Amino acid sequence: MSDKDKYTVVEAPEGYSGSGFFATTLDKAVGLARKNSMWPLPFATSCCGIEFMATMGANYDLGRFGAERLSFSPRQADLLMVMGTIAKKMAPVVQQIYEQMAEPRWVIAVGACASSGGIFDTYSVLQGIDKVVPVDVYVPGCPPRPEQIIDGFMKIQELVGNEPLRRRYSPEYKAMLESYGIKTDSYDK
């Protein structure tokens, strides 16, 4: 039985909204703030990175979505955007960067190379970053146009806005991270 069948969502009772106010859940309020103030870390290794530069430029302007503050430090980033071919030698670095980011954190694989290795089906290229870190959104294309990158970003915003606060502490989430060899010891402290 799906969650949808188990629970009935009812309309807010009278008195929870009115002129100039409304009551909501903490999850929704936090989600709204988070999704409109993402701090992306652009991890650009090749051509897809150039498309990202265009995405940040005046024509497309990712800043319109509240994400103009790029972070080149994993400690102050909550969205890892991997754009380009990732060599197997680079894979541990991608994972280390992911581990250095504080929770909650999200990941977009931008373009065919980051998503699946792209045209480089060779001994030296990682066949998708989801071999080393969990990916939330994949953006197809070689390279994807800035519109596609923006579309992927908006999908992330949807996920961020609807994520329950308790998800990151759930045993399922920890088990998923551990399946990538990512330590979760600090989650219990």
Q: Which residues bind ligand SF4 (CB under 6 A)?
A: 46-48, 84-85, 111-113, 118, 142-143
Of 83 and 160, the one with the shorter C-beta distance to ligand SF4 is: 83
Identify which of residues 62 and 109 has a Cβ nearer to ligand SF4 in the complex: 109
Nearer to ligand SF4, 86 or 160 (CB): 86
Helix (H) or strand (E) holding 110: strand 106-110
What does the H/E/C string look like for 143-177?
CCCHHHHHHHHHHHHHHHHHCCHHHHHCHHHHHHH
The least CB distance from residue 90 to ligand SF4, in Å, is: 13
CB of 88 to ligand SF4, least distance (A): 15
Report the run of H or E that residue 41 belongs to, with start and end. Answer: strand 40-44
Give whichever of 74 and 143 is closer to ligand SF4, judged by the CB atom: 143
- Please name the residues in contact with 86: beta carbons below 8 A apart, sequence gap of 6 or more: 45, 94, 113, 114, 125, 126, 129
- How many residues are recorded in the chain? 189
Nearer to ligand SF4, 41 or 48 (CB): 48
CA-to-CA distance for 135 and 174, rounded, in angstroms?
15
C-alpha dist (Å) from residue 132 to 5, 16, 77, 119: 35, 45, 19, 19
Residue 127 Cβ vs ligand SF4, minimum distance, rounded to whole Å: 12
We find the least distance from the C-beta atom of residue 113 to ligand SF4, in angstroms, to be 3
Cβ of residue 136: shortest distance to ligand SF4, in angstroms? 18
